[in-house]
Amino acid sequence: MRIGIHSGPVIAGIIGKKKFAYDIWGDTVNTAARMEQSSEAGKINISETTYKLIQRKFPCTYRGKIAAKNKGEIDMYFVND
């Protein structure tokens, strides 16, 4: 399992006419998907934005700038065990 987390604004809503589903959209969701794709099995990969929010509570390891599809290079971190 791989996990990717990014923090930021999203748009949420309900879609469907007969069967309803709740979903979220936006650049934050897309960036989180890139974090997940760039992660490794058993790791939590986070963006620099999320790192700044959690750095005092969770130890992290800087991975460097990693290329992400349609995003360019993103500073990424692994949350340590």
Sign of the alpha-carbon dihedral angle for 4, 11, 27, 21: positive
8 A C-beta contact, residue 74 and residue 30:
no
Catalytic residue among 19, 34, 52, 56: 34
Catalytic residue flag (residue 56): no
Q: Fill in the amino acid letter for 11.
A: I
Dist CA 69 CA 66 (whole Å): 10
Catalytic residue among 43, 52, 69, 71: 69
Sign of the alpha-carbon dihedral angle for 49, 36, 74, 72: negative
Catalytic residue flag (residue 69): yes
Residues forming the active site: 34, 69
